[in-house]
Structure 1
Amino acid sequence: MAEKRYLLALDAGGTMTDTFAVDQEGKFVLGKSLTNPENEAFSYIASVEDAARSWGMTSADIHQRALSSTYTGTTMLNILLTRTGSKVGLLITRGFVDMPLMERSLTWLGQSYEDILHQQLHEHNPWLVQPEHVKEVTERISVGSFYMQHHYMPGTVVIPLVEDEVRQGVSELLDQGIEVIGILTIGSYVNPIHEKRMAEIAREVVKQRGVDISVVASHEICSLPNENERLKTLLFQCYVAEIGRKKLLSVEGAAKKEGYDYDLLTLLSYGAAASIRYPKLCEAVVSGPVGGLLGGRIVAALLGRPNLICCDLGGTTFDAGLIAAGLLLVNKEPDFAGHRLRLPMVSIDSIGAGTGTVIHVDEATKRINLGPESAGSAVGTCYVYPDITIGDIDLILGYLNEDYFLGGKVKLNKERALQMLKERLAEPLGQDVYDVSSKVLDLLHSQMCDHLSSMLLSKGLNPAEFTLLTYGGSGPLHVWGLDRGLMLGAVLMVPWAAAFSAFGCAAAEYFHRYDKAVTFFLTPDMIDDVKMYQAMGLSAAWQELEQRGYEELEREGIPREQVHFRHGISARYIGQISTWEAPVQKGRVENIEDLNRVIESFEKVYTTIYPAAARFPQAGYQITEVYVEAIGEKIKPVIPRYPLKDKEAAHEAYKGQREAYMDGKWTKFDIWEMDLLQAGNRIDGPAIIEHP
């Protein structure tokens, strides 16, 4: 058997599939291929093959010696957008049959501010479950109240479950050809007894009918309040995740055909690596951009820069996230593709901007609009796309080398790009093609700068206290425009910027996260005995989640002695709407000092995000949820340290000069090969550093 010594991580974006391959000494190489949305297994193997070539190996050589392979991408998003998900049936508490259609009236999610103001532009999402496939079941469990002394206690069965309605509903769904059955009761986050019984009955009926159909209960996926968002999360698991799992299994199959021995891993939306057989695969609905923030957190710690703006600019989107005081911000109710979900997701703000962004010209108003369409891996008219794009402009202005795209594997047509930009951009506006192209880049940069400014200022953060880290296939190419438009503390890039998200995937921990709703109020005048009575619920919840972590990781082959935990809470001041997540040092509250430290952890996070003057301890505290992260051991890449060389770069790294258009004139730029530069070299501008 071949010695296992390599680690693979791949990020499949809309344009490129990037590979980050690491050996046992922490040395790494990069690989790239154009993404093939119709056959992701093909672009996966092609990208690994490109990386293996740097070591004089083949993709099969790497797979036979690989300890793990992590694959992220847009598989599930594509399923959602192309409406190719599973045929879903739903059992729900009587009286809530229209909830999947109403969507809590969140018909404006993802729209621009201008469109939000126009009610006629608001539209419901296409249904994830058809109305005729929703069956009501009589049952009800109390979820408690602020006026507890006048109400049922939380978890009390108010209306018993009518089991015959469950059997009838499941039978009708099977007759309708349903492929996945979801189950949601309104009070299951407090007491899942009815949901568990409904799932048992459904699985019995499915077994009796002899069909292979998954049954998913909401408490298995999301044991949290907010039934609309919980329902959306359940429907994502039913509609998207099971089909997505099959596509990921096809990628795994391609790897195993070459000798890979283990489960393919993917990245969950809160930054954990997990097997593609993970039960809550809906948590991987967005994975690629998360890798960049994980990599950014490692770089922040390595360089001692706790405040980082991480920007991923590729061919399709501009994704930005913050690391503040070394912490990743996690959104507990993220908006995704027009849906509001109830699952933890690293806070990432995205706009449709990239080198594949299509340029539109309105000849009547003489206005230029960017997007929302993107050429993706088709690049622009310089390659195989019919419309002009930002990539065409980068090429004609001299920023891109037509003979060195993907290291020369893809040949770009500069003359065609110039001709198309003249016909479709310059002539309709009556301007010089190079001057107006430069203005289009200014427009792109201003949109990205506005996006970053609003993201920072809305949180009360000072841009001057943050370092900008840019990566992605186009990030370093356009960082000069961001630097000009923002008053930042510093700008940072890495040599492997194109595969930086894949690097973050390789560095991701293998862990599962579990959340549980709790009821905890702490007022200034509350006596210690009442505080500690409530604190018992925190400890019990943490212990319950730890047990789930042990059981799931054991099923995935990780023994208990290799599992450790991180604990945390979601809290707010009483009266606030939003909650903030805070890690705690100890997952038990055994005395009043432990409880005070839990509250102090919330205060620390709150004052990291907002000014200290925004504190309001006089209102009291409410803890709404607790979480546990169960972590298993996993190999990770090591960033090597290099001795500093001379400031003057080696002559072999210099490739000559090329004229590029910037600031209204043509200027000669020195051209350098990045792989031949060494630590300590200083390159004075104007210069372009190329990398295959």
Structure 2
Amino acid sequence: MTSIKVGVDIGGTFTDFVFLESQGNRSFGKTLTTYPDPSDGFINGLEENLQKFEYRYEDIDTIIHGTTLVVNALIERKGAKTALITTEGFRDQLEIATESRYDLYDLFVDNPLPLVPRELRYTVKERMLNDGTVLEPLDETGVKETFRRLREDGVEAVAVCFLHSYRNMAHETRVREIAEEVAPELYISLSGEVSPEIREYPRTSTTVANVFVQPLVQRYLSNLETALQARGFSGNFLMMLSGGGTCTVETAMRFPIRILESGPVGGTIAGAYYSERSRLGQLLVFDMGGTTAKASLVDDGKPLTTNEFEVGRAERFMKGSGMPVKVPVVEMIEIGAGGGSIAHVNRLGLLKVGPESAGSNPGPASYDLGGTRPTVTDADLILGYLNPDYFLGGDMPLNKKRAYAAIEKEVAKPLGLDVVEAAWGIHEVVNENMASASRIHAVEKGKDIRDYPLFASGGAGPVHISHVAEILGVETVLLPVGAGVNSAFGFLAAPLAFDFVRSFYGRLKTLEWNDVTALYEEMEQEGKVLLAQAGVTEEIETLRYAEMKYAGQTHEIAVPIPAGALTVQSIPEVMANFKMEYAKRYAEANEDMVIEALNWRVVVRGPEPHIYLRASENQATAAASPKAHRDVYFRAYKSFQQTPVYERSTLAPGTAFQGPAIVEERESTLVVNPGFLLKVDELSNLWMTKEGAHG
């Protein structure tokens, strides 16, 4: 009996499937995402592909799932009716926020509205000091009265966030116990569990967001589990975490905010996997799907991560204009549009692309599903990059006439251009925007983007990767097999893992190190229990970090902390680690300033999945033969050029040829610009190198 693992990624336009056999064979599937219930596309697409590849549900050992369900629910505010219970006197913390303006000189900035309106924010008498001691006991009578009012208001979910509960959550725990007695039907999230770290506003915002989406996520995942089990699936069903690990469905239902970016993160994890396999320490992952495009950096074979994120920004690239959530997340930047992003001419007569997307319903005009507005996909079709008869391997023909009409009406005529010029304008605007955002993202990290080969991911990524590389001055591009479903493959390369945090402030030289050791041991034990629930009891790795800064600074950096019991003798090693990390970011560290620690973090994870990809022993002995030729528009010629079209599955390892060329596979299409040399390696990955590049 064949044993397979399945990755399922639900995006805004397509739902992607990767089937990985233990022997290393891979199969790929892609179907349109279904609305309003994306689980329909999940189940239907899974069944279709199981039949297609002659698998059974009983063959599936593990399913790992990633989805944009949480982030979309927060952006669209389609969660539960949610209330907040907080300490008396702190009712308006969600609106006061940090009292800062994300744009200092704009008098009309719009801060995001809180998920909980003021009339659903309740306070109770209680007070905890910042060292965890009780100043004022919890008013349990007031809590019971509050829950009575919540039930009258028809509230479905409640966030509980008391002052300094990150040090002592006894009062929050008691509120939940009371809720179980008087209002057991309510969903309850406690800040001491969801985000047990200092800084009141982000902690409250994160807890509110968690419980806001919890009913939606629990219904969605419970229905999926039931549907899978009814069809004979009895393996592990895991969810992708935003931080790059995986967790059980039960954990995801308890902390749904942790799967906020579970879909997009898969592309970065896949990039890290191929980085190690290809002996590339650095990569810029360029992931362009049907709805958005994102960029992320891989350094030393590992994705960059952060512990804070913003959702629903009022200004797309303006930090501070969104709703903060304090969860571990692979660091990504949304860098532009996806294949379904709509092109339009604004009131100033300028061509704009996105952020609005046609999605899968009604889709781009060329999908012939009811969409009438021009999109990036329509422009790529007009320019000859896409084959109208081979989209999704021919399962979904594209209507070139509808694409032409849509671009002509809404872009070409308003700008006084012919349709080809308008299509090229759409394509070029997207590429320039994505290259510019990628460059800024790298500079913010102190990186020179020219040192980072590009890694193409997503259904639209390979179409645009050559042009983006040229704009950035990057000389090497890597395209893996199945790039169009790469995020789903990345899920299969991620280990079971979970992150924990505790706040405990102190200066290094005066810290109570026994207390710090106890915090680490508590978090590590909690992590081992979670992994044991998922069946992992061996080869468990624990990584320790602390968030530290110089006294007087307001931002911390993550610093590795040694294992074992921590004592005064640990201080020199911790200080050296801090100065090394600080110098990496800011060129040099200060030898005399006092160092402070604020948060202590642990990552507990199981073994890395062993993915065996079979290398081909056959090397090409003859030149590759194109399956066809077609007219394709290239900037280098400023016109259409008869261009060879290759079927990717026929390109044996060792094959090499010069651009211009088109390489087609079912899930994506690679455009090889003039001036690039394409080679196929032993794993059938495609490498594009700019002529004259070193190496």
Could you tell me the TM-score, scaled by structure 1's length? 0.89
Matched residue, 1:67: 61
- 2:486 maps to 500
Q: Which structure has more helix as a fraction of its residues? A: 1
| Residue 207 of structure 2 is aligned to residue 234 of structure 1 | yes
Q: Which residue of 2 aligns with 1:89?
A: 83
Partner of 2:106: 118
1:371 to 349, 354, 362: 354
When residues 351 and 456 of structure 1 are mapped into structure 2, their CA distance, relative to the original with a 3 A threshold, is closer
Match of 1:596 in 2: 572
SS in 2 for 1:119: coil
Pairing partner for 1:213 from 170, 178, 186: 186
For residue 356 of structure 1, report the CA deviation from its aligned partner.
1.1
> Structure 1 counterpart of 2:394, which letter?
G
> Aligned partner of 1:119: which letter?
L
1:455 paired to 2:449? no
Q: 2-side partners of 1:373 and 1:94: how far apart?
A: 41
1:381 is displaced (CA, Å) by 1.3
Secondary structure of 2:71's aligned partner: helix
Q: CA deviation at 1:604?
A: 3.8
**Residue aligning to 2:164:** 187
Distance verdict in 2 for CA 1:374–1:648, change over 3 Å:
farther
In structure 2, the partner of 1:135 is 122
Contact 1:33–1:46 (8 Å) recurs in 2 = no
Task: Select which of 425, 443, 447 maps to 1:439.
Answer: 425
Within 5 Å, give how 1:380-419 maps onto structure 2: 380-383=364-367, 384=369, 385-419=371-405
Tell me the distance in 1 between the aligned counterparts of 2:600 and 2:491: 26
Separation of aligned partners in 2, 1:496 and 1:626: 39
Alpha-carbon shift at residue 631 of structure 1 (Å): 2.2
SS at match of 1:172: helix
Secondary structure at 2:411 match in 1: helix
SS in 2 for 1:282: helix
Task: Give 1:489 deviation, angstroms.
Answer: 5.1
Please give the residue correspondences for 1:108-507 in structure 2 after superposition, counting only pairs within 5 Å: 108=102, 117-125=105-113, 127-143=114-130, 154-206=131-183, 211-278=184-251, 279-337=254-312, 338-362=322-346, 365-377=348-360, 378-383=362-367, 384=369, 385-488=371-474, 490-507=476-493
Kept in 2: contact 1:472–1:501 (CA 8 A): yes
Greater Cα offset, 239-248 or 320-329: 320-329
Counterpart residue identity of residue 304, structure 1: R
Cα distance, 1:140 vs structure 2 = 1.3
Superposed CA offset, 1:38-82 (max 9, x none): 232221134334543563x15xx1x21111101111111232234
CA-to-aligned-CA distance 1:443-474 (integer Å, 9 cap, x gap): 11111111011111222211222111121001
Contact 1:29 1:54 in 2 (8 A): no
Q: Secondary structure at the match of 1:204?
A: helix
Distance of aligned partners of 1:450 and 1:425 in 2 relative to their CA distance in 1, 3 Å threshold? same
Identity value in percent: 28
- Stretches of structure 1 lacking an aligned partner (at least 5 in a row): 144-153
For 1:499-648, list aligned pairs within 5 A.
Answer: 499-522=485-508, 526=509, 530=510, 534-554=512-532, 556-558=533-535, 560-561=537-538, 563-590=540-567, 592=569, 594-608=570-584, 610=585, 613-632=587-606, 635-643=609-617, 645-646=619-620, 648=622
Task: Determine which of 677, 680, 683 is the counterpart of 2:657.
Answer: 683
- In structure 2, the gaps of 5 or more residues are 313-321, 667-695
How many angstroms apart in 2 are the aligned matches of 1:662 and 1:352?
Answer: 21
RMSD (Å), alpha carbons: 2.2
Report deviation, 1:24.
1.4
Identify the residue that residue 655 of structure 1 maps to in structure 2: 627
What's the secondary structure of 1:236's corresponding residue? helix
Shift of 1:252: 2.5
Q: 1:5 to 1:468 in 2, by over 3 A?
A: same
Asked whether the equivalents of residues 316 and 352 of structure 1 are also in contact (C-alpha less than 8 Å), the reply is no
Residues in 2 aligned to 1:19 and 1:158: alpha-carbon distance in whole angstroms: 54
Change (3 A) 1:32 1:625: same
Partner of residue 37, structure 2: 39
CA distance in 2, matches of 1:324, 1:230: 29
For residue 414 of structure 1, report the CA deviation from its aligned partner: 0.6
Aligned length: 650
Contact conserved, 2:373 with 2:407, CA < 8 A, in 1? no
Q: CA deviation at 1:283?
A: 0.7
Which residue identity is paired with 1:376? Answer: G
CA distance in 1, matches of 2:661, 2:223: 43
1:660 to 1:4, Cα distance in 2 relative to 1, 3 A = closer
Mapped partners of 2:452, 2:534: distance in 1? 41
Tell me the TM-score normalized by structure 2: 0.89
Measured at CA, do residues 238 and 629 of structure 1 come closer, stay the same or move farther in structure 2, by a change above 3 Å?
A: same
Distance verdict in 2 for CA 1:12–1:134, change over 3 Å: same
Cα offset, 1:649, TM superposition? 4.5
Please state whether the residue corresponding to 1:614 is helix, strand or coil: coil
Distance 1:263 1:242 in 2: 22
